[in-house]
Structure 1
Amino acid sequence: MVDLNELRNLAARVAASADLVDVRLFHLDLTLERVPVKGHALSYSFDSVVEVQESNDQSTALLVDGSYDVTLRQGDTDAHAEEGSDADEVIAYLKIQLAALYEIHEDAPEEFADEELDAFAQTTGLLTLHPYVRELVASMTSRMGLPALHLGTVRINLDKRNDDD
């Protein structure tokens, strides 16, 4: 399990030196495979990768890139669904790429370690981009004629128990 306090500490120098300037949509791919059957439950899977994008000039700007895959399914949620039924049939796919642009203060350290940048992406970058993804998914699923899909908020594990317990 990743230690949240360790990530925060690693990200602190970057976070203290960066101001959010813009969030941009780089890629959006929507596919509606079929119209769902009314009255049947929809489920979804959500996968994301948030990382610092390589930059030639890290001294003035920092780009945190988020790639998101959402798959909507419909089917019999009963664990005893008959074999060969339409259980877990794919309804739609959404592939999204967003990036958050941060400006680095002039008085910032000359360079940040890769570990610091990665920790910044996994903390501040994640928290910055997720609300934009939530809104985009809700809006696009609605525009596809599906019930608007509202993703959950980002949950940060605050369990302070030691892994050895």
Structure 2
Amino acid sequence: MSEDFDLARAQREASRVAAMADIADVRLFNAQLNFEHFPEEGNDLTWHLEMTPSFSYDEGDDFFILEIEYEVEIQELVDGISSEDAQPRKLATIAFKLGSLYRLDVNGRNPPEGAELYSFSKTTGTIALYPYAREFVQSMSSRMGLPPLTLATFKLPYPDSSTTPEEPRAIGAKAPPRKRAPKRAAKS
């Protein structure tokens, strides 16, 4: 996203699309899982998330498609006594694309414009798909033999006119370290 992203304007533009759009379907378009290695005993885990939304719409259609590419890098912190000193080492990457079909009920109103759909994709549309992304990451990290990763809740920054507007992001996009649960001894 660009440095000149105006969240307040984007939310206004997105609200017009949200008033005439309803999500009809959500699908996984593709996925790629890369496993590097298991974490070492006692190392803290962390993660980094990148999201790239886009949309497809042809004027006159009564629908549009929102696609979001996600890439989650799961890391362990090694070679340090404290989390601040530790160096991250990649354990795995989960990259995937979700798509959603939105039906439009224009009902006598002007159809959405490209700038409004762009704003919708960066705000409301991203929020709508994020729970599906969280579930996918949690399921796939567990299936990869790693501790199940629950991504932080997605939040838009509170508009504050006294500061430079922030871009929408997942809170915890650079997550703090997470302690691994200790291994339990098997009962005999």
**TM-score over 0.5 (shorter chain):** yes
State the distance in 1 between where 2:15 and 2:160 align.
19
Inter-partner Cα distance in structure 2 for 1:51 and 1:23: 15
| Cα contact 1:22–1:100 (8 A) shared by 2 | yes
Residue 12 (structure 2) aligned to one of 6, 9, 13: 9
Distance change (3 Å), C-alpha of 1:100 and 1:147: same
Could you say which residue in structure 1 is the equivalent of 2:103? Answer: 103
Counterpart residue identity of residue 62, structure 2? T
Using the alignment, how far apart are the partners of 1:41 and 1:110 within structure 2? 52
Does the CA-based 8 Å contact 1:100-1:128 persist in structure 2?
Answer: no
Secondary structure of 1:5 counterpart: helix
**Superimposed CA distance per residue, residues 109-157 of structure 1 (whole angstroms, 9 cap, x where no aligned partner):** 4532211111111121011111100011011101111001110011211
Gaps of 5+ in 1: 82-86
TM-score, normalised to structure 2's length?
Answer: 0.76
Aligned equivalent of 2:51: 48
DSSP-derived class of the 1:101 partner: strand
**Higher helix content, 1 or 2:** 1
Alignment of 1:119-130 (within 5 A): 119-130=119-130
Distance in 1 separating the partners of 2:158 and 2:58: 35
Counterpart for residue 30 of structure 1: 33
After the TM superposition, which residues 12-161 of structure 1 pair with which residues of structure 2 at under 5 Å, given as runs?
12-52=15-55, 54-56=56-58, 59-76=61-78, 78=82, 79-80=84-85, 87-107=87-107, 109-161=109-161
Gaps in structure 2 of 5+ consecutive residues: 165-188
SS of residue in 2 equivalent to 1:23? strand
Check the 8 A contact 1:18/1:103 in 2, yes or no: yes
**CA distance, structure 2, for counterparts of residue 125 and residue 106 of structure 1:** 18
Q: Normalized against structure 1, the TM-score is what?
A: 0.86
**Do 2:66 and 2:101's aligned partners in 1 also have CA atoms closer than 8 Å?**
yes
CA distance in 1, matches of 2:149, 2:60: 36
Q: Write the distance in 1 (CA, Å) between the matches of 2:118 and 2:34.
A: 31
Q: 1:55 deviation in Å?
A: 3.4
Aligned identity (percent) is 31
Q: Is the 8 A contact 2:65 2:99 kept in 1?
A: yes
Q: What is the RMSD computed on CA atoms of the aligned residues?
A: 2.0
CA contact (8 A) 1:59 1:110 kept: no
